Amino acid sequence: MIALVARECHHFSAAGRDYLYLVPSAAVFALDDVTSAVLRVVGERRQPEDGVASALADRFDAGVVHAAIAELLAARAIGYEHEPDDAPVRVLPMMPFPLNTMVLNVTNQCNLACTYCYEYGEDKIVDTAHGRQAKFMAEQTARDSVEFLLRESGAVAHLTFFGGETLLNFPVLQSTIAYARRRAAEAGKTIDFSLTTNATLLRPDIIEFLADNDVGVTVSIDGPREMQDRFRVFHNGAGSYDVVAPKIKDLLRRHRTRPIGARVTLTSDTLDIRRIYEHLTEEIGFWEVGFAPVTTSPGQQYAIGERGFDRMLDQFRALAHDFAGSVAANRHHGFSNVKDTLEEIHKGVSKAYPCGAGLGLLGVSTDGDVALCHRFAGSDAHKFGTVAGGIDRGAQAAFLERHHIADKTDCRTCWARPLCSGGCYHEAYVRHGDTTRPNLHYCEWIRGWTHTCLEIYGELAERNPEFLARFDREETKTEVAV
């Protein structure tokens, strides 16, 4: 008889129950006593169905065991030994793939000089100081970008403004929003706006405009004064905390139409995540806080090393468990990293590409070049056309061919690949000069964090399933990593 074998899955436990994360389908499967026992027997030694039933005869009826085997076969948690494995195969997306989000770099100038910045710091890939690029996007280029987005998008389009410091080009931002709103209405499409800012240039009329126009705002800030001022400094070296804190409070007071989030860059010197979180939510008043490790080459002193990733994971875990406790009691908790991953788990996201860059998301440089994403805007090596001339489908298809998960040797067999898929192209480029390389330096962290989020998912499935059901009703948000 043909033997049964365990297929690719990841075990975890939550709220006193065992679960499986079925890697090829990215589905979560709750185990009961009998399915759990069958899996253990099959995992220990490949054997035919009758062998499994005999091994469990002292605990379960043969009929119950065979029913559990059928259930596990249907879920592909187990299979027959002669069947091919479930490693990803290279199926390219249908083209033209609709554009969902366009990120406009309305300026490459900034009034801060954050040491770790990919635009200005030691790891920059585009020379915005001495290159040929315009320092500010012209109104016509922004309008061409809107036309490009509306041409390429489906019924809903997201326009995100970015920099440099976005608000240095507030006049173009303002006129572009009015233009895009009118053109979207004419085209019968819905358009949504957001921006990222360092908050130094916020003033009452700008805040009023953002609130009136329902613009989503993310503020880049690294935490309390000593952490913010460690890297987020003006060109003269002065810290920015005392400038931004009152302006952010003003923003939070007046802009009530959309929740406002903070986005924190973590470095080896600023890893006190709980303190940062509590400061930004309780003392400043942000609704949500998201954290991302700094993108940098490993030689930089502020790069997070192996021990730093361990520390970061411990703190993420602790905060994620706080999140679960709050949500189980129907209270808000603003740790957005865990919420975003729970949403992906709930929706069974399985990525052939790590993010939307080059697919549903494109960046635009100040002079109208279309790029893989905002971090590559202005880089000739990552150009996908121009907003005036249209998208270069050949370059886009070639990129997607070369970056599929099926071609990433280390990732093909990794259980965390449905959510990671090799990690950020920009990080890979900064580290290895090659966007096709997976970010193997943070695999342990990614797997540890994914495991924690699965545990939280299982816990909330027991304690507050309604919270998870909300993800079915909410539109998927496009994250723009800064």
Binding site for ligand SF4 (CB under 6 A): 355, 357, 361, 373, 375, 410-411, 414, 416-417, 420-426, 438-440, 443, 446-447, 481
Q: How far is the CB of 26 from ligand SF4 (least distance, A)?
A: 12
Which CB, 20 or 362, lies closer to ligand SF4? 362
What is the rounded CA–CA span in Å between residue 318 and residue 312? 10
- DSSP-H helix ranges across 329-412: 336-346, 393-402, 409-412
Output the DSSP codes for 263-299.
Answer: EEEEBTTB--HHHHHHIIIIII--SEEEEEEPP--TT
Which CB, 146 or 420, lies closer to ligand SF4? 420
Q: Which two tokens stand for residue 41?
A: 């027997």
Which CB, 38 or 446, lies closer to ligand SF4? 446
What is the rounded CA–CA span in Å between residue 231 and residue 302? 10
Tell me if 289 sits within 8 A of 280, measured CB to CB: yes
Containing 160, the helix (H) or strand (E) segment is: strand 153-162
Q: How far is the CB of 126 from ligand SF4 (least distance, A)?
A: 13
Distance between terminal CA atoms of the chain? Answer: 55
Which CB, 232 or 263, lies closer to ligand SF4? 263
Q: 406: Cβ–Cβ under 8 A, 6 or more apart, which residues?
A: 87, 88, 89, 90, 352, 412
Q: 238: Cβ–Cβ under 8 A, 6 or more apart, which residues?
A: none
Closest to 324 in 3D by CA, of 310, 344, 339:
339
Q: How far is the CB of 195 from ligand SF4 (least distance, A)?
A: 16
3-class state of residue 356 by DSSP: coil
Which CB, 156 or 481, lies closer to ligand SF4? 481
Q: How far is the CB of 424 from ligand SF4 (least distance, A)?
A: 3
Which CB, 20 or 443, lies closer to ligand SF4? 443
What is the rounded CA–CA span in Å between residue 478 and residue 355? 9
* CB under 8 A, 24+ apart: contacts of 35-40: 35/68, 35/71, 35/72, 35/77, 37/68, 38/65, 38/68, 38/69, 38/72, 38/78, 39/6, 39/72, 39/77, 39/78
Q: How far is CA 75 from the centre of its chain?
A: 27
Q: How far is the CB of 260 from ligand SF4 (least distance, A)?
A: 20
Tell me if 178 sits within 8 A of 142, measured CB to CB: no
Which CB, 196 or 281, lies closer to ligand SF4? 196
Tell me if 268 sits within 8 A of 308, measured CB to CB: yes
Which CB, 311 or 437, lies closer to ligand SF4? 437
Which CB, 266 or 424, lies closer to ligand SF4? 424
Q: How far is the CB of 425 from ligand SF4 (least distance, A)?
A: 4
What is the Cα Rg of the chain in Å? Answer: 24
Question: Which residues on adjacent β-strands are paired with residue 265?
Answer: 292
Q: Which two tokens stand for residue 226?
A: 């000593």
Which CB, 281 or 452, lies closer to ligand SF4? 452
Q: How far is the CB of 45 from ligand SF4 (least distance, A)?
A: 28
Q: How far is the CB of 342 from ligand SF4 (least distance, A)?
A: 18
Tell me if 106 sits within 8 A of 140, measured CB to CB: no
Which CB, 288 or 427, lies closer to ligand SF4? 427
Which CB, 421 or 452, lies closer to ligand SF4? 421
Q: How far is the CB of 215 from ligand SF4 (least distance, A)?
A: 20
Q: How far is the CB of 357 from ligand SF4 (least distance, A)?
A: 4
Q: How far is the CB of 363 from ligand SF4 (least distance, A)?
A: 8
Distances (CA, A) of 8 to 76, 154, 413: 8, 35, 9
Q: How far is the CB of 35 from ligand SF4 (least distance, A)?
A: 26
